Structure 1
Amino acid sequence: MKLSVMYADALLTLNAPQYINLNRLVSQVISTLTTSLRFDGALNVDVAEFQTNLVPYPRIHFMLSSYAPVISAEKVYHEQLSVDEITNSAFEPSPMMAKCDPRHGKYMACCLMYRGDVVPQGCERCSSNHQDQTNYPVCGLVSNWVQMCVAEVFSRIDHKFDLMYVKRAFVHWYVGEGMEEGEFSEAREDLAALEKDYEEVGAESAEGKDGDDGDEY
Protein backbone atom coordinates (compact mmCIF):
# COMPACT_ATOMS: atom_id res chain seq x y z
CA MET A 1 0.00 0.00 0.00
CA LYS A 2 2.77 2.44 0.90
CA LEU A 3 4.54 1.91 -2.40
CA SER A 4 1.28 2.16 -4.34
CA VAL A 5 0.65 5.56 -2.75
CA MET A 6 4.17 6.69 -3.68
CA TYR A 7 3.65 5.32 -7.19
CA ALA A 8 0.35 7.12 -7.64
CA ASP A 9 1.78 10.35 -6.27
CA ALA A 10 4.88 10.32 -8.48
CA LEU A 11 3.59 8.96 -11.78
CA LEU A 12 -0.10 9.88 -11.77
CA THR A 13 0.56 13.38 -10.39
CA LEU A 14 -1.99 12.86 -7.62
CA ASN A 15 -1.25 14.86 -4.50
CA ALA A 16 -3.63 12.82 -2.37
CA PRO A 17 -4.35 9.40 -3.93
CA GLN A 18 -7.68 7.88 -2.93
CA TYR A 19 -8.53 4.22 -2.47
CA ILE A 20 -10.22 4.22 -5.87
CA ASN A 21 -6.90 5.22 -7.50
CA LEU A 22 -4.98 2.49 -5.70
CA ASN A 23 -7.64 -0.14 -6.39
CA ARG A 24 -7.64 0.69 -10.08
CA LEU A 25 -3.86 0.37 -10.21
CA VAL A 26 -3.84 -2.99 -8.42
CA SER A 27 -6.75 -4.33 -10.47
CA GLN A 28 -4.99 -3.31 -13.69
CA VAL A 29 -1.88 -5.22 -12.64
CA ILE A 30 -3.88 -8.35 -11.78
CA SER A 31 -5.85 -8.07 -15.01
CA THR A 32 -2.67 -7.84 -17.05
CA LEU A 33 -1.06 -10.76 -15.21
CA THR A 34 -3.99 -12.97 -16.22
CA THR A 35 -4.41 -11.61 -19.76
CA SER A 36 -3.06 -14.76 -21.38
CA LEU A 37 -5.92 -16.76 -19.84
CA ARG A 38 -8.50 -14.65 -21.67
CA PHE A 39 -6.93 -13.53 -24.95
CA ASP A 40 -4.89 -15.12 -27.69
CA GLY A 41 -1.27 -14.17 -28.02
CA ALA A 42 2.08 -15.22 -29.39
CA LEU A 43 2.87 -17.02 -26.14
CA ASN A 44 -0.08 -17.92 -23.94
CA VAL A 45 0.77 -19.16 -20.47
CA ASP A 46 -1.21 -20.66 -17.63
CA VAL A 47 -0.83 -19.17 -14.16
CA ALA A 48 0.64 -22.49 -13.00
CA GLU A 49 3.52 -21.97 -15.43
CA PHE A 50 4.70 -19.03 -13.35
CA GLN A 51 5.51 -21.47 -10.58
CA THR A 52 7.07 -23.96 -12.98
CA ASN A 53 9.30 -21.47 -14.78
CA LEU A 54 10.07 -18.84 -12.15
CA VAL A 55 10.49 -20.77 -8.88
CA PRO A 56 14.05 -22.18 -8.56
CA TYR A 57 13.59 -23.73 -5.09
CA PRO A 58 10.43 -24.68 -3.15
CA ARG A 59 10.88 -21.99 -0.47
CA ILE A 60 12.17 -19.33 -2.89
CA HIS A 61 8.74 -18.86 -4.44
CA PHE A 62 7.82 -15.26 -3.63
CA MET A 63 7.55 -13.34 -6.88
CA LEU A 64 7.66 -9.59 -7.36
CA SER A 65 5.63 -7.76 -9.97
CA SER A 66 6.00 -4.41 -11.64
CA TYR A 67 3.77 -2.60 -14.12
CA ALA A 68 4.65 -0.10 -16.81
CA PRO A 69 3.82 2.38 -18.10
CA VAL A 70 1.68 4.29 -15.64
CA ILE A 71 0.68 7.63 -17.18
CA SER A 72 -1.66 10.29 -15.87
CA ALA A 73 -4.88 11.09 -17.73
CA GLU A 74 -3.44 14.44 -18.76
CA LYS A 75 -0.52 12.81 -20.59
CA VAL A 76 -2.02 9.62 -21.98
CA TYR A 77 -3.22 11.16 -25.25
CA HIS A 78 0.00 12.90 -26.22
CA GLU A 79 2.81 10.86 -24.64
CA GLN A 80 4.03 7.93 -26.72
CA LEU A 81 6.47 5.41 -25.27
CA SER A 82 8.52 2.90 -27.23
CA VAL A 83 8.83 -0.76 -26.28
CA ASP A 84 12.39 -0.07 -25.15
CA GLU A 85 11.28 2.75 -22.85
CA ILE A 86 8.48 0.67 -21.33
CA THR A 87 10.84 -2.25 -20.75
CA ASN A 88 13.49 -0.06 -19.14
CA SER A 89 10.96 1.54 -16.81
CA ALA A 90 9.77 -1.88 -15.61
CA PHE A 91 13.19 -2.49 -14.07
CA GLU A 92 13.13 0.71 -12.01
CA PRO A 93 12.18 0.73 -8.29
CA SER A 94 9.07 2.91 -8.72
CA PRO A 95 6.86 0.44 -10.68
CA MET A 96 7.41 -2.37 -8.17
CA MET A 97 4.27 -3.55 -6.40
CA ALA A 98 6.24 -4.14 -3.19
CA LYS A 99 8.57 -1.61 -1.61
CA CYS A 100 12.03 -2.90 -2.45
CA ASP A 101 14.83 -1.87 -4.78
CA PRO A 102 15.60 -4.45 -7.52
CA ARG A 103 19.04 -2.88 -7.90
CA HIS A 104 20.00 -4.29 -4.50
CA GLY A 105 19.83 -7.93 -5.48
CA LYS A 106 20.00 -10.55 -8.21
CA TYR A 107 17.33 -11.84 -10.53
CA MET A 108 16.85 -15.60 -10.26
CA ALA A 109 14.27 -15.63 -13.05
CA CYS A 110 12.28 -13.07 -14.98
CA CYS A 111 9.18 -13.01 -17.16
CA LEU A 112 8.09 -9.98 -19.19
CA MET A 113 4.52 -10.02 -20.49
CA TYR A 114 3.69 -7.41 -23.09
CA ARG A 115 0.10 -6.51 -23.85
CA GLY A 116 -0.85 -4.69 -27.03
CA ASP A 117 0.53 -4.32 -30.53
CA VAL A 118 4.02 -5.65 -29.87
CA VAL A 119 5.90 -7.98 -32.20
CA PRO A 120 7.93 -10.86 -30.72
CA GLN A 121 11.10 -9.60 -32.40
CA GLY A 122 10.88 -6.37 -30.44
CA CYS A 123 10.48 -8.30 -27.19
CA GLU A 124 13.52 -10.43 -27.92
CA ARG A 125 15.59 -7.36 -28.68
CA CYS A 126 14.56 -5.75 -25.38
CA SER A 127 15.40 -8.92 -23.47
CA SER A 128 18.85 -9.09 -25.04
CA ASN A 129 19.46 -5.47 -24.02
CA HIS A 130 18.84 -6.44 -20.39
CA GLN A 131 21.21 -9.40 -20.26
CA ASP A 132 23.39 -7.41 -17.89
CA GLN A 133 20.46 -7.18 -15.49
CA THR A 134 18.77 -10.58 -15.55
CA ASN A 135 19.91 -14.16 -15.24
CA TYR A 136 17.25 -15.85 -17.30
CA PRO A 137 15.24 -13.28 -19.25
CA VAL A 138 12.01 -14.72 -20.59
CA CYS A 139 10.37 -12.61 -23.21
CA GLY A 140 7.03 -11.78 -22.75
CA LEU A 141 5.00 -6.90 -19.87
CA VAL A 142 3.54 -6.76 -16.67
CA SER A 143 6.85 -8.08 -15.19
CA ASN A 144 7.11 -11.04 -12.84
CA TRP A 145 10.36 -12.11 -11.28
CA VAL A 146 11.98 -13.95 -8.41
CA GLN A 147 14.39 -11.44 -6.93
CA MET A 148 16.69 -11.49 -3.93
CA CYS A 149 15.65 -7.99 -2.86
CA VAL A 150 12.29 -9.41 -1.71
CA ALA A 151 14.20 -10.19 1.50
CA GLU A 152 13.90 -6.45 2.21
CA VAL A 153 10.15 -6.95 2.52
CA PHE A 154 10.60 -9.84 4.96
CA SER A 155 13.07 -7.84 7.03
CA ARG A 156 10.63 -4.94 7.24
CA ILE A 157 7.81 -7.26 8.35
CA ASP A 158 10.09 -8.85 10.97
CA HIS A 159 10.97 -5.44 12.40
CA LYS A 160 7.35 -4.29 12.60
CA PHE A 161 6.30 -7.60 14.14
CA ASP A 162 9.00 -7.36 16.81
CA LEU A 163 7.92 -3.85 17.78
CA MET A 164 4.34 -5.00 18.30
CA TYR A 165 5.00 -8.45 19.76
CA VAL A 166 7.31 -7.19 22.49
CA LYS A 167 4.27 -5.32 23.82
CA ARG A 168 1.97 -8.27 23.03
CA ALA A 169 -0.15 -5.86 20.98
CA PHE A 170 -3.36 -7.48 19.70
CA VAL A 171 -2.15 -10.95 20.77
CA HIS A 172 -5.14 -11.44 23.07
CA TRP A 173 -7.53 -11.09 20.14
CA TYR A 174 -5.91 -13.99 18.30
CA VAL A 175 -5.57 -16.12 21.43
CA GLY A 176 -9.23 -15.49 22.12
CA GLU A 177 -10.05 -16.94 18.69
CA GLY A 178 -8.20 -20.17 19.41
CA MET A 179 -4.58 -19.50 18.43
CA GLU A 180 -1.75 -20.37 20.77
CA GLU A 181 0.76 -17.68 21.62
CA GLY A 182 3.60 -19.99 20.63
CA GLU A 183 2.38 -19.87 17.04
CA PHE A 184 3.50 -16.25 16.83
CA SER A 185 7.07 -17.20 17.76
CA GLU A 186 7.04 -20.09 15.29
CA ALA A 187 5.84 -17.83 12.48
CA ARG A 188 8.50 -15.25 13.35
CA GLU A 189 11.23 -17.89 13.28
CA ASP A 190 9.98 -19.25 9.97
CA LEU A 191 10.04 -15.81 8.36
CA ALA A 192 13.55 -15.19 9.69
CA ALA A 193 14.62 -18.55 8.23
CA LEU A 194 13.04 -17.59 4.90
CA GLU A 195 14.97 -14.33 4.87
CA LYS A 196 18.15 -16.30 5.56
CA ASP A 197 17.33 -18.71 2.72
CA TYR A 198 17.15 -15.83 0.26
CA GLU A 199 20.48 -14.47 1.50
CA GLU A 200 22.14 -17.88 1.12
CA VAL A 201 20.75 -18.40 -2.38
CA GLY A 202 21.98 -14.95 -3.35
CA ALA A 203 25.44 -15.76 -1.98
CA GLU A 204 25.53 -19.11 -3.81
CA SER A 205 24.53 -17.37 -7.03
CA ALA A 206 27.35 -14.87 -6.61
CA GLU A 207 29.88 -17.65 -6.01
CA GLY A 208 28.59 -19.74 -8.91
CA LYS A 209 28.80 -16.81 -11.31
CA ASP A 210 32.07 -15.37 -10.06
CA GLY A 211 33.53 -13.16 -12.72
CA ASP A 212 30.29 -13.06 -14.72
CA ASP A 213 28.62 -9.66 -14.62
CA GLY A 214 25.48 -11.03 -16.24
CA ASP A 215 23.78 -11.91 -12.97
CA GLU A 216 23.94 -8.52 -11.29
CA TYR A 217 21.78 -5.49 -11.77
Structure 2
Amino acid sequence: MKVLVVDDEKDITALVAYHLEREGFRVLQAHDGLQALELVKRERPHLLVLDLMLPHLSGLDVCRRLRKEPDTARLPILMLTAKAEETDKVLGLELGGDDYLTKPFGPRELVARVKALIRRSEETQEEEVFKVGSLEIDLGRYTVSIRKRAVELTSKEFDLLKALVLAKGRALTREFLLARVWGYERASEIESRTVDVHVRRLREKLGPEATRIVTVKNVGYRFDQDT
Protein backbone atom coordinates (compact mmCIF):
# COMPACT_ATOMS: atom_id res chain seq x y z
CA MET A 1 0.00 0.00 0.00
CA LYS A 2 1.37 3.41 -1.01
CA VAL A 3 0.67 6.50 1.07
CA LEU A 4 1.59 9.99 -0.10
CA VAL A 5 2.34 12.38 2.78
CA VAL A 6 2.21 16.07 1.86
CA ASP A 7 3.49 18.74 4.23
CA ASP A 8 5.88 21.67 3.78
CA GLU A 9 7.51 20.83 7.11
CA LYS A 10 9.99 18.08 6.30
CA ASP A 11 10.35 16.95 9.89
CA ILE A 12 6.61 16.19 9.94
CA THR A 13 6.69 14.17 6.71
CA ALA A 14 9.73 12.27 8.03
CA LEU A 15 7.96 11.52 11.32
CA VAL A 16 4.78 10.34 9.60
CA ALA A 17 6.79 8.29 7.11
CA TYR A 18 8.71 6.60 9.92
CA HIS A 19 5.57 5.46 11.73
CA LEU A 20 3.72 4.38 8.57
CA GLU A 21 6.73 2.45 7.25
CA ARG A 22 6.92 0.59 10.56
CA GLU A 23 3.40 -0.64 9.77
CA GLY A 24 4.41 -1.88 6.33
CA PHE A 25 3.30 1.05 4.15
CA ARG A 26 5.40 2.42 1.33
CA VAL A 27 5.54 6.17 1.90
CA LEU A 28 6.05 8.91 -0.67
CA GLN A 29 6.70 12.51 0.39
CA ALA A 30 5.85 15.88 -1.16
CA HIS A 31 6.37 19.37 0.23
CA ASP A 32 4.09 21.58 -1.88
CA GLY A 33 0.73 21.29 -3.61
CA LEU A 34 1.99 21.11 -7.19
CA GLN A 35 4.45 18.34 -6.34
CA ALA A 36 1.62 16.47 -4.61
CA LEU A 37 -0.56 16.54 -7.75
CA GLU A 38 2.36 15.36 -9.85
CA LEU A 39 3.09 12.42 -7.53
CA VAL A 40 -0.56 11.41 -7.31
CA LYS A 41 -0.76 11.27 -11.10
CA ARG A 42 2.52 9.36 -11.48
CA GLU A 43 2.53 7.04 -8.46
CA ARG A 44 -1.21 6.34 -7.91
CA PRO A 45 -1.08 6.17 -4.10
CA HIS A 46 -3.78 4.34 -2.15
CA LEU A 47 -4.19 7.22 0.30
CA LEU A 48 -3.18 10.86 0.68
CA VAL A 49 -2.19 12.52 3.98
CA LEU A 50 -2.58 16.19 3.09
CA ASP A 51 -1.57 19.33 4.99
CA LEU A 52 -3.86 22.28 4.25
CA MET A 53 -1.24 25.05 4.48
CA LEU A 54 1.07 24.39 1.53
CA PRO A 55 3.20 26.60 -0.76
CA HIS A 56 2.31 27.10 -4.45
CA LEU A 57 -1.06 25.36 -4.12
CA SER A 58 -3.02 24.92 -0.90
CA GLY A 59 -4.19 21.56 0.38
CA LEU A 60 -7.79 22.63 -0.19
CA ASP A 61 -7.02 23.39 -3.84
CA VAL A 62 -5.21 20.06 -4.20
CA CYS A 63 -8.25 18.27 -2.80
CA ARG A 64 -10.61 20.21 -5.06
CA ARG A 65 -8.64 19.27 -8.18
CA LEU A 66 -8.36 15.60 -7.25
CA ARG A 67 -12.11 15.31 -6.66
CA LYS A 68 -12.83 16.67 -10.14
CA GLU A 69 -10.85 13.90 -11.85
CA PRO A 70 -12.53 10.48 -12.26
CA ASP A 71 -9.28 8.62 -11.55
CA THR A 72 -8.80 10.32 -8.18
CA ALA A 73 -12.37 11.16 -7.18
CA ARG A 74 -12.42 8.29 -4.65
CA LEU A 75 -8.84 8.57 -3.40
CA PRO A 76 -9.03 8.53 0.43
CA ILE A 77 -7.73 11.84 1.82
CA LEU A 78 -6.76 12.46 5.44
CA MET A 79 -6.37 16.18 5.97
CA LEU A 80 -3.92 17.68 8.45
CA THR A 81 -4.63 21.16 9.75
CA ALA A 82 -3.15 23.47 12.34
CA LYS A 83 -6.48 25.28 12.41
CA ALA A 84 -8.85 23.92 15.03
CA GLU A 85 -11.80 26.12 14.06
CA GLU A 86 -14.93 24.21 13.09
CA THR A 87 -15.35 26.22 9.88
CA ASP A 88 -11.91 25.15 8.64
CA LYS A 89 -12.65 21.49 9.26
CA VAL A 90 -16.10 21.65 7.68
CA LEU A 91 -14.65 23.40 4.62
CA GLY A 92 -12.10 20.63 4.22
CA LEU A 93 -14.81 17.99 4.40
CA GLU A 94 -17.03 19.87 1.97
CA LEU A 95 -14.21 19.94 -0.58
CA GLY A 96 -13.83 16.17 -0.41
CA GLY A 97 -11.69 15.26 2.56
CA ASP A 98 -12.59 11.90 4.10
CA ASP A 99 -11.15 12.62 7.54
CA TYR A 100 -9.12 15.27 9.33
CA LEU A 101 -6.55 15.45 12.08
CA THR A 102 -5.60 18.61 13.96
CA LYS A 103 -1.96 19.49 14.61
CA PRO A 104 -0.25 18.65 16.86
CA PHE A 105 -1.30 15.03 16.48
CA GLY A 106 -0.19 11.71 17.91
CA PRO A 107 1.54 9.40 15.39
CA ARG A 108 -0.40 6.38 16.69
CA GLU A 109 -3.72 8.11 16.05
CA LEU A 110 -2.63 9.11 12.55
CA VAL A 111 -1.60 5.53 11.75
CA ALA A 112 -4.92 4.24 13.09
CA ARG A 113 -6.89 6.65 10.93
CA VAL A 114 -4.83 5.79 7.84
CA LYS A 115 -5.52 2.09 8.41
CA ALA A 116 -9.23 2.73 8.91
CA LEU A 117 -9.52 4.74 5.68
CA ILE A 118 -7.62 2.16 3.64
CA ARG A 119 -9.54 -0.74 5.17
CA ARG A 120 -12.83 0.81 4.16
CA SER A 121 -11.65 1.71 0.67
CA GLU A 122 -10.36 -1.81 0.05
CA GLU A 123 -13.17 -3.84 1.59
CA THR A 124 -14.60 -6.45 -0.69
CA GLN A 125 -17.97 -5.23 -1.82
CA GLU A 126 -21.01 -7.47 -2.07
CA GLU A 127 -21.76 -8.82 -5.53
CA GLU A 128 -25.12 -7.10 -5.62
CA VAL A 129 -26.82 -4.49 -7.78
CA PHE A 130 -29.42 -2.40 -5.97
CA LYS A 131 -32.08 -0.65 -8.09
CA VAL A 132 -34.78 1.76 -6.94
CA GLY A 133 -36.48 4.34 -9.11
CA SER A 134 -33.94 5.67 -11.60
CA LEU A 135 -31.08 4.93 -9.20
CA GLU A 136 -28.76 1.95 -9.66
CA ILE A 137 -26.02 1.06 -7.16
CA ASP A 138 -23.56 -1.70 -7.99
CA LEU A 139 -22.05 -2.71 -4.64
CA GLY A 140 -19.53 -5.01 -6.30
CA ARG A 141 -18.25 -2.55 -8.87
CA TYR A 142 -18.51 0.46 -6.55
CA THR A 143 -20.54 2.43 -9.10
CA VAL A 144 -23.69 4.54 -9.00
CA SER A 145 -25.83 5.68 -11.91
CA ILE A 146 -29.07 7.57 -12.45
CA ARG A 147 -30.98 6.83 -15.65
CA LYS A 148 -27.88 4.93 -16.82
CA ARG A 149 -25.66 7.99 -16.39
CA ALA A 150 -22.71 7.57 -14.02
CA VAL A 151 -22.62 9.54 -10.78
CA GLU A 152 -19.12 10.20 -9.49
CA LEU A 153 -18.90 9.69 -5.72
CA THR A 154 -15.94 9.76 -3.37
CA SER A 155 -15.16 6.59 -1.43
CA LYS A 156 -16.76 8.00 1.73
CA GLU A 157 -19.88 9.17 -0.12
CA PHE A 158 -20.29 5.69 -1.60
CA ASP A 159 -19.73 3.98 1.76
CA LEU A 160 -22.30 6.31 3.35
CA LEU A 161 -24.86 5.57 0.64
CA LYS A 162 -24.14 1.85 0.93
CA ALA A 163 -24.68 1.86 4.70
CA LEU A 164 -28.00 3.64 4.29
CA VAL A 165 -29.17 1.33 1.50
CA LEU A 166 -28.23 -1.88 3.32
CA ALA A 167 -30.15 -0.69 6.40
CA LYS A 168 -33.32 -1.35 4.35
CA GLY A 169 -35.29 1.61 5.54
CA ARG A 170 -34.10 1.65 9.14
CA ALA A 171 -32.97 4.99 10.55
CA LEU A 172 -29.24 5.13 11.32
CA THR A 173 -27.80 7.47 13.92
CA ARG A 174 -24.88 9.76 13.18
CA GLU A 175 -22.88 7.84 15.77
CA PHE A 176 -23.54 4.54 13.98
CA LEU A 177 -22.57 6.03 10.62
CA LEU A 178 -19.38 7.54 12.05
CA ALA A 179 -18.41 4.13 13.43
CA ARG A 180 -19.44 2.22 10.31
CA VAL A 181 -18.08 4.53 7.62
CA TRP A 182 -15.30 6.46 9.37
CA GLY A 183 -14.27 4.06 12.12
CA TYR A 184 -14.80 6.53 14.99
CA GLU A 185 -15.53 4.91 18.32
CA ARG A 186 -16.65 8.16 19.92
CA ALA A 187 -18.14 11.18 18.18
CA SER A 188 -17.62 14.80 19.14
CA GLU A 189 -20.03 17.47 17.94
CA ILE A 190 -17.65 18.46 15.16
CA GLU A 191 -17.17 14.85 14.03
CA SER A 192 -20.96 14.43 13.94
CA ARG A 193 -21.01 17.29 11.44
CA THR A 194 -18.91 15.07 9.19
CA VAL A 195 -21.99 12.96 8.49
CA ASP A 196 -24.15 16.00 7.75
CA VAL A 197 -21.56 17.44 5.35
CA HIS A 198 -21.27 14.17 3.43
CA VAL A 199 -25.06 13.71 3.32
CA ARG A 200 -25.42 17.20 1.84
CA ARG A 201 -22.79 16.48 -0.83
CA LEU A 202 -24.38 13.10 -1.56
CA ARG A 203 -27.81 14.66 -2.00
CA GLU A 204 -26.40 17.23 -4.41
CA LYS A 205 -24.92 14.48 -6.57
CA LEU A 206 -28.03 12.27 -6.52
CA GLY A 207 -30.17 15.03 -7.99
CA PRO A 208 -33.73 13.71 -8.61
CA GLU A 209 -33.14 10.77 -6.24
CA ALA A 210 -31.81 12.94 -3.39
CA THR A 211 -35.14 12.89 -1.55
CA ARG A 212 -34.61 9.20 -0.79
CA ILE A 213 -32.12 10.20 1.89
CA VAL A 214 -34.50 11.28 4.63
CA THR A 215 -33.49 13.23 7.73
CA VAL A 216 -34.93 11.67 10.89
CA LYS A 217 -35.19 14.40 13.51
CA ASN A 218 -33.03 13.88 16.61
CA VAL A 219 -31.80 10.55 15.21
CA GLY A 220 -29.93 10.64 11.90
CA TYR A 221 -30.82 9.45 8.40
CA ARG A 222 -32.61 6.67 6.56
CA PHE A 223 -32.92 5.62 2.91
CA ASP A 224 -36.47 5.59 1.50
CA GLN A 225 -36.92 2.64 -0.84
CA ASP A 226 -40.68 2.90 -1.23
CA THR A 227 -41.29 6.04 -3.28
> Which protein has the bigger helix share?
1
In the superposition, the TM-score normalised over structure 1's length comes to 0.26
- Which has more radius of gyration? 1
> Which protein has the bigger strand share?
2
